[in-house]
Amino acid sequence: MFLSKVVSSIILLLIFVVNLYSFEQTLSPNENITVGDKVVLNIKAEGLTVNSLDISKLKELNFGDFELLDVQPAQDGTVNFILSAYKAGKIELLSVEIPYIYNDEKKFVRTKALPIEIKSVLNPQQPPMDVQDIKGIIKFNHGILWYIPFILALIALILISYFIYKFIKKKNRKPTQEEIIQSIPPKEYALKQLDELITLNLIEKGHIKEYYDKLSDIIRFYISRAYSVDGMEKTTTELYSMLKNKITPEQNRELKNYLINCDFVKFAKLIPTQEDIKNDFDIAKDFIEKL
């Protein structure tokens, strides 16, 4: 009875040892490895695949100075452990116990430790250059007067650059509508507005009030520019007072009566005849040409 237990124990121990060491491992490359290089530890064992690994346990594996970067399946179905070392010199890839599941049984593989030499990426023939001696203090023997010409030259360069910038900006700037109007003589601009008023065909469309509104504005705008008064926002009576010393009394009275007539059409809804409309246009044009 005792003998059978001993034999059973020996058989179980042999099965354990066979299970523990019945695998193959290869490391590539195994020489001329430099710091930061990736090396592949390939493990071949019965039932060992990437899917059979206990991924949560892989982070606990201690390969020594090597870091486990990834686990990938090889072309023949075996498992590649991607490692890298960041320490130069003779180091050892430690033995680790890799657990996995095969046929619903928990198994494991214990790798063999491997001595490996990791080469530095630095040239051994040259001394390290990471720390250098501090250079001596540079002394300037020039006084403040020595720098004045350079300061003046710098200021002149800044001013020249500024004026060139302003000139180019002004040259390329598009004039505003107000600037375009100001560039045209008042009389020429007013007569041009009268011509444009005719092309609007407001009378033919029945917009008589709008027609007289624009006709009045054309005269007021011309008076404002020609005599430097604010004629657009003033009442007819106020404009009459402002022009007393600028045009003859007769011209001022005629202008006042004309604008009052326009106001009647604009605000009192007076409907002029076609002949009155033509006469009012001619009178406006005559005012502009004579004033």
Fold of 19-119: Immunoglobulin-like (2.60.40)
Distance CA 59, CA 64 (A): 13
Written as six digits, the tokens of 60 are: 């606990």
The closest alpha carbon to 47, from 17, 79, 21, 16, belongs to 79
Distance CA 157, CA 17 (A): 87
Residues 264, 272 contacting (CB under 8 angstroms) = no
Q: Which DSSP state fits 174?
A: P
SS3 117: strand
Amino acid (one-letter) located at 9 = S
Cα angle, residue 125 at apex, residues 119 and 128 outer, rounded to 5°: 80
The tens place of each residue's pLDDT in the chain, 291 residues long, gives 555 554 455 444 444 444 444 678 888 887 888 888 888 888 888 888 888 887 778 888 888 888 888 888 887 878 888 888 888 888 888 888 888 888 888 888 888 888 888 888 776 665 555 555 555 666 666 677 888 888 999 999 999 999 888 888 877 778 787 878 888 999 999 999 999 999 999 999 989 999 999 999 999 999 999 898 988 888 999 999 999 988 999 999 999 999 999 888 888 778 899 999 999 999 999 989 887
Q: Which DSSP state fits 175?
A: P
Spell out the residues 6+ positions from residue 279 whose beta carbon is closer than 8 angstroms to its own: none
Domain boundaries, the chain: 19-119, 178-290
User: Would you say the C-alpha torsion 134, 140, 144, 147 has a positive or negative sign?
Assistant: negative
